[in-house]
Structure 1
């Protein structure tokens, strides 16, 4: 059990890892396929939209047949899709396999967080979720670095061959090291009507929507930079394929620090309070980011201060928000996590192809858009606190 947080974190990492790893290769792929950089944003959008759609089903399916079968099956499909992406002759074919990657990646990413709540309660769950979040946070920084290094020894196809190998490794890790955490007596019937009923029950709950949209908008302010990294780092900051670490390392470092702070505070502060503090900090940080962008322009290290500080607050709030949302429906935790993931990913997929091109002209417009999103997230959370003030706190 000592290595369990690491295994769970590896499973949860595959989602963000698959978004960021191809970023350094975007310019090479665009030239080979004869497309513009804005069209390459579809590589992000198609993956995330497919991830979001399938996320609705991964959780309920694991509630019905167990966590391990869903994770292993999803990783196998992911590995095959990565092989197809590596062999793609044009952008259209690549997008098909990116969609299949997205459809399968949630089988590990979504269920990994459900494993935490299956195994632990109270302070233990909060601490483990924070540990997983810290390890999970490495993915956005590590992925583009690995992508850039792979390009030094091969072409862009090697990036997707690496993803295929990752899928096979995760299958082996699950089969050898991960126990089944959802026993037969706790499973729900494997009926489409029942699965849809569970999801409908979640989606018609106001508490869920206020909480889920609070984190969706707050994380959306950070993800705006992640999803638009090829534009922000490559075009606005003028950095090369090996320079993505200059943005991702400080931002992810702050995200990890937020997770560490959350774990330490969890011993004496409620999850609700930590979420409030984290989102408030991110809101202030987003405004600071706008001011810095206006004064310093597209220059390092100033350009990364705003998004990094936003990540610090989000890193503290996110694991606690997951626990609070999971506790809304203890018997349908898979459905709850699927619904929350669907909400966040679908929004980010749409923003990657709509908001990012609109704000991609300068670091100031990036910062303004991020600030608006984070402030919206804080507003939804304040609304949730107001609506539930006369009830016992969730979680």
Structure 2
């Protein structure tokens, strides 16, 4: 398969999560009105999705190590389509929560197994370059999803957002059934034994470098995800914009991510991972200071309130590919398991931010800027505390 086709497929699979997360954000007020629930309850439709997403990321990589990458991807897409159809037809708020949970259980396979596919196929800078390309294409989804969702809400109501996500899932299911190759041959797979899997999870979680690096990636992503979880309140409450104006937040936010990913891919072969990580964190620190200074002295308004977010996500995109590759390389023979654990930590932090942190901060642009800066500082500390790259304790092989 040509590399660009694989890149598009993996980026499309990674887009499932952002589409399911962001498309319906402009419908928060409509959902609250339709089901007669509070905005805080509507926020939980996002939190339930994220907690389910995080939980299932623990298993998709390991399942793909045992049964192959392709079958796991196809099954998850089938479940995602069914859950999206259920959410579009939900008659009660409880039903909506249920189907949002099912969406979360199925949406994470593409990101987790996609990382394993990249590491199956490529090594070192080449893997970093492809991951950066995937992130660059994938970044389109969170930029356009809330914009599309805003217009769908205005034209057809909240159900149209879930119908749109269903159409995306069906399109990806057809494309993957026809084009996605199997990157893990049967001879390289491991028998599925729950006890051995739990033991290997425990071994990985006792590796100080792996845990600290995973937390560093997770808190850094969480600092960015804070604005995603707070989007409805930030755009319509703080910036006082209509439901069709979510692009003011998401276009610059994801634009920085896409441009940074393109630069990260270009620099992968000419600059060390350490240099890219230092440079990216330096840029993010400057963006946080600018955001704090502006929101402390002025009332938030566009475009000034979103320019520091653009700079921050640009730096974020520079550091995520090398940080991810260095973390997964600690377990080169169990990439699915390592990807599962790393993504679990990342999405669990996102879920906690959505459920508990965002509701405390999303009424103030200055508090959101402080929250973003806090996540960046915690991430830098964890990365620096991680032991230098070394060979971890070898995971015991599976036995029949």
Normalised-by-shorter TM-score class: over 0.9
Do the aligned residues in 2 keep the contact of 1:144 with 1:244 (CA within 8 Å)?
Answer: yes
* TM-score normalised per structure 2: 0.94
Residue 217 of structure 2 corresponds to residue 223 of structure 1: no
Inter-partner Cα distance in structure 2 for 1:19 and 1:312: 21
- CA separation in 2, counterparts of 1:254 and 1:110? 23
Moved more, 269-278 or 163-172: 269-278
Equivalent residue, structure 1, for 2:275: 273
User: Aligned with 2:156: secondary structure?
Assistant: coil
Within the candidate set 29, 33, 36, 1:34 is matched to: 36
For residues 188 and 258 of structure 1, the distance between their equivalents in structure 2, rounded to whole angstroms, comes to 37
Query: Superposed, which structure 2 residues align to 1:164-243 within 5 Å?
Result: 164-243=166-245
The residue number in structure 1 matching 2:125 is 123
Superposition deviation, residue 306 in structure 1 = 2.3
Runs of 4+ in 1 over 4 A off after TM superposition: none
Residue 300 of structure 2 aligns to a residue whose secondary structure is: coil
Question: Aligned to 1:289, which of 288, 291, 308?
Answer: 291
Paired with 1:49 and 1:270, the residues of 2 have a C-alpha distance of 35
Q: Does 1:348 align with 2:350?
A: yes
Q: Equivalent residue for 1:388?
A: 388
Name the counterpart of 2:108.
106
What's the offset of the Cα at 1:32? Answer: 0.5
- 2:51 corresponds in structure 1 to 49
Contact 1:198 1:332 in 2 (8 A): no
Rounded to whole Å, the distance in 1 between the matches of 2:310 and 2:94 is 34
* TM-superposed deviation, 1:52: 0.4
Rounded to whole Å, the distance in 2 between the matches of 1:152 and 1:372 is 36
Q: After superposition, what is the alpha-carbon deviation per residue over 1:303-337, rounded to whole angstroms, capped at 9, x for unaligned?
A: 11222221111111111112111111111111111
* Alignment match, 1:92: 94
Query: Is contact 1:280–1:378 with CA below 8 Å preserved after alignment?
Result: no
SS in 2 for 1:111: helix
Q: Which residue of 2 aligns with 1:161?
A: 163
Provide the residue aligned with 2:395 in structure 1.
none
Identify the match of residue 340 of structure 2 among 324, 338, 341: 338
Q: CA RMSD in A?
A: 1.5
**Structure 1 CA distance for aligned equivalents of residues 92 and 236 of structure 2:** 22
Question: Post-superposition shift, 1:392?
Answer: 8.7
Contact 1:51 1:104 in 2 (8 A): yes
CA distance, structure 2, for counterparts of residue 192 and residue 265 of structure 1: 41
C-alpha distance in structure 1 between counterparts of 2:17 and 2:204, whole Å:
23
How far 1:252 moved relative to its partner? 0.6
Task: Count residues in correspondence.
Answer: 390
Mapped contact 1:9–1:133 kept (Cα < 8 A): yes
Q: Which residue in 2 is equivalent to 1:22? A: 24
> Aligned to 1:303, what secondary structure does the other structure show?
coil
Contact 1:237–1:298 (CA under 8 A) maintained in structure 2: yes
2:375 paired residue number: 373
For residues 324 and 17 of structure 1, what CA distance do their matches in structure 2 show? 28
The answer to whether the 8 Å contact 2:124/2:325 transfers is no
Deviation at 1:181, TM superposition (A): 0.4
Tell which deviates more after alignment, 292-301 or 22-31.
292-301
- Deviation sequence 1:43-92 (CA, Å, 0-9, x none): 11000000001110000000000001000000000000011101112222
CA distance in 2, matches of 1:361, 1:26: 15
| Range moving further from structure 2, 203-212 or 270-279 | 270-279
Name the CA distance, whole Å, in 2 between partners of 1:291 and 1:192.
Answer: 51
CA–CA distance in structure 2, aligned partners of residues 107 and 267 of structure 1: 29
Taking a change above 3 Å as real, the CA distance of residues 91 and 52 of structure 1, as seen in their structure-2 partners, is same
Equivalent of residue 67 in structure 2, options 65, 68, 79: 65
2:330–2:391 contact (8 Å) kept in structure 1? no
- Cα contact 1:55–1:338 (8 A) shared by 2: yes
- Residues of 1 paired with 2:365 and 2:227: CA distance? 10
1:142 aligns with 2:139: no
Unaligned runs of 5+ in 2: 393-400
Q: Which runs of 5+ in 1 are unaligned?
A: none
Whole-angstrom distance in 2 between the partners of 1:198 and 1:67? 19
